[in-house]
Amino acid sequence: MIVKLGYVAMSVELQQASPSQTMTFSQFSKIKDREAAIRKLERIAQSNLENCLRLLKHNVGNDIQFFRFSSRLIPLANHEELQEWNYMKPLRETLAKLADFLKEHPMRIDFHPDHFVVLNSLDKEILKNSLKTLWMHEALLKGMDINPEHRCVLHVGGGYEDKEKALEQFIYNWGYIKPDIQRIIMLENDDTTFTLKDTLYLCEKLGIPMVFDYHHHLANHKEEDWVSDWERVVSTWSHSPLPVKMHISSPRSDKEFRAHADHVDPEMFMTFLNEVKGSVPEIHCMIEAKQKDAALFQLVRDLKEHGGFKWLDQTNFVVE
C-alpha cells in the first residue's frame, strides 16, 4: 500500500509565502476610489496565487505530491457588496502558470472550504452563498486545469437540534444542487455532530466519496468501531478517479482533545496504518497539524526512526 502525505495551505518553512493575505470589507470601504479598492483586492489575490506557486515548488523539492490550497485566495470573493466584481478575469494568467507547473509536476490538489459553506441549511440565503463559494472553488480548479471532481471536502453541516432531520435536509437540498457542483464534493465526519456512520449514510445514499478523519472519529464516535466500517468508506471511492483520502491529526491534550496539536503522534498514525494496510493500493493522508509542512517533515523523521516502511522518496512510502 502506497502512502502519500500532504499538508494544509501554507508553509512554516518558507518565509513570506502566505496564500491567505486578505483585506476586510471595512478596509475596502475606507478606500474612497472604488475601482482602486477593487484593484487592490486583485493585487492581493494575485500575490496569494504567486505564493501558491512558490509552495508548489517547495513541495516538488521535497517530493510532496498532495497539497490543500487555502480557500482564502481571493479576499471578499462573493461579498454581497461586490457582486459585480468579476474576480476570476484578472487571475487567469497566474492560474495558467499554476496549470503549467502542475502539468510538469503532477500532484493531488484539493480544497477544504470554510465552515460557513453549509449544504444542509434550512436558510435559502446560506445555501445560496455556500453554492457561490463552491462555484468559486470550481472556477479556481478549472483555471488551473485541474479536474474539479472530488476536490472539495466539506462537513455535513449543522445538527439543528435534530440530527436525523439535518441529514434528511442535506438529501433534500442536494436535489437542488447542480451536478457540476455535486461532483466536486467529498464529505468528512466531524468532531461534534456527524459521526462516521452518519456521514457514510449520506455518502452511500448520494454517491459521495467519504474522507475519514481519524482524530474526529476519536473525539465523536458514540462507541462506533471504525475498523468494521473501513470497507464501506473505501467503497465510496469506487467511482472516483482519485485514491482514498483521509485526514490525520492529533489532540492538543486530553483537556483540549478536539484541538489540533502542532505535530502528529506517530504511534497514533501507525495504529491507523496497521489497520488499513492491504485494503487499498494507495492512500493519501492529509496532515492537519498546526506546524503544517514542518509537522509532515517531523512525521517522516519519526516513521523513519521507527523503521519497517519502504521509502519511495523523501515523503512517500510503502506499507508492506
Compute how many other C-beta atoms are within 10 angstroms of the C-beta atom of residue 131: 18
What domains lie within the chain, and their CATH numbers? 2-17+110-318 (3.20.20.150)
User: What is the 8-class DSSP label of residue 314?
Assistant: S
Residues 6+ apart with CB under 8 A from 40: 23, 28, 31
CB 252 within 8 A of CB 259: yes
| Cα 78 from chain centroid (whole Å) | 20
The pLDDT profile of the chain, 320 residues, written as one tens digit per residue, is 999 999 999 999 999 999 999 999 999 999 999 999 999 999 999 999 999 999 999 999 999 999 999 999 999 999 999 999 999 999 999 999 999 999 999 999 999 999 999 999 999 999 999 999 999 999 999 999 999 999 999 999 999 999 999 999 999 999 999 999 999 999 999 999 999 999 999 999 999 999 999 999 999 997 889 999 999 999 999 999 999 999 999 999 999 999 999 999 999 999 999 999 999 999 999 999 999 999 999 999 999 999 999 999 999 999 98
The H or E element containing residue 285 is: strand 282-287
Q: Which backbone phi and psi does 246 adopt, to 5 degrees?
A: -140, 165
CA-closest candidate to residue 268, choices 280, 251, 292: 251
pTM: 0.96
Residues 6+ apart with CB under 8 A from 182: 174, 206, 208
**Rounded to an integer, what distance in angstroms lies between the CA atom of residue 141 and that of residue 315?**
25
Q: Which grid cell is 59?
A: 513541495
Q: Output the pLDDT for position 14.
A: 95
Q: What is the pLDDT of residue 223?
A: 82
Q: Are 8 and 287 in contact (CB under 8 A)?
A: yes
DSSP, collapsed to helix, strand or coil, labels residue 152 as strand
Instruction: Answer yes or no: are the C-beta atoms of 119 and 127 closer than 8 Å.
Output: yes
What is the predicted pLDDT for the residue at 137? Answer: 98
Bridge partners (DSSP) of residue 251 are 260
